[in-house]
Amino acid sequence: MQINWRGVYPAISTQFHPDGQINYDSNARMLNQLIEDGIDGIIALGTVGENASLTAQEKREFLRHTVETVAGRIPVIAGCTENTAQAAAAYGRDAEAIGVDGLMLLPAMVYRGTDREVVAHYQYVARSISLPIMIYNNPVGYGIDINLEMTAILAEEPNIVAIKESTTDTRRITELQSRFGDRFTIFCGVDDIALESILLGATGWISGLTNVFPRESVALFHLARLGRLEEARAIYRWFMPLLRLDTIPTLVQCIKLSEQLLQRGSEQVRLPRLPLEGQERAYVEQVVQQALAKRPDLSTYGFGTSGQNQEFWQL
């Protein structure tokens, strides 16, 4: 199965009204702005999208609205976080009917399966749908490492085509490439090892802070891919305090507060999450303020006011 997933893919937030209902108007504004800023695709209903906090009906309605808003301009990959293989397959079939371009599939939630059970989960879902599937490997967050031996079995499923690699160990990228060649499209899934991962051959970056600073994210990715390492390192050093916010338990609140500070969205989250307060809130505000004070001038790198229609940035 052939795909063309590459570049910078924000894991978009799900915007809420103060009463907890989904704010579709705000989500549409956010999506259009991200596309104008030059991002290459999106992950809808990932961790940052508070997938597990939405009802089954809300998830499907959100995907439908997202697909309609994007209108084919970029790929839309739907996060899949379900408690059983049957529920994940049903979600995948509905997502396929809605028109998403792929599924980012997690192991079954709540029950932490054995290696054999996790493989069976992925096999069941893959054989139940036609969509291309991205494995989301996040042992830090979810306690399950889809290791090389498991990946070798899953490589036999033709529609399992990509891996979001979030072990935090950049050696895994090289190990995957050494063993499987170009069988899988590999995305970096950890913001604060993004540059290292790109230099090791990751062809995509799924990011939370890209929601807040999309143009800087796109510039970093393409400068690294073009071998302009001094310039990439300069942006990366500026970016690092922000990127660290994506690696802590309150990452959703940190990202959404940052979106609010830049007037790109609202910090409103759904229970059991609560907005940040006290020292945690002050720290995020400080990091964002410092980043804005030293924000790089991307025009010096040849990057214009819009991320779109810049032939220079084509890979």
Q: Give yes or no for a contact between 57 and 291, defined as CB atoms under 8 angstroms apart.
A: no
* DSSP run (H or E) holding 238: helix 229-243
Distance from C-alpha of 239 to C-alpha of 177, rounded to nearest angstrom = 27
Q: Please give the structure tokens belonging to residue 311.
A: 């032939």
Q: Write the single-letter amino acid at 107.
A: P
Which residue among 164, 236, 256, 301 is the active-site one? 164
Q: Please give the structure tokens belonging to residue 254.
A: 């940190």
Helix, strand, or coil (residue 198): helix
Q: Can you say how many angstroms the Cα of residue 112 is from the centroid of all Cα atoms in its chain?
A: 22
* DSSP run (H or E) holding 256: helix 251-261
Which residue among 9, 122, 136, 301 is the active-site one? 136
Helix, strand, or coil (residue 311): helix
Residues in a beta bridge with 78: 44, 103
Task: State how far the alpha carbon of 67 is from the alpha carbons of 38, 220, 294, in Å.
Answer: 18, 27, 35
Q: Give yes or no for a contact between 9 and 42, defined as CB atoms under 8 angstroms apart.
A: yes
* DSSP run (H or E) holding 34: helix 24-36
Task: State how far the alpha carbon of 12 is from the alpha carbons of 9, 44, 256, 311, 314, in Å.
Answer: 9, 6, 10, 25, 23
Is 111 part of the annotated catalytic residue set? no
Q: Can you say how many angstroms the Cα of residue 180 is from the centroid of all Cα atoms in its chain?
A: 23
Is 164 part of the annotated catalytic residue set? yes
Residue numbers annotated as active site: 136, 164
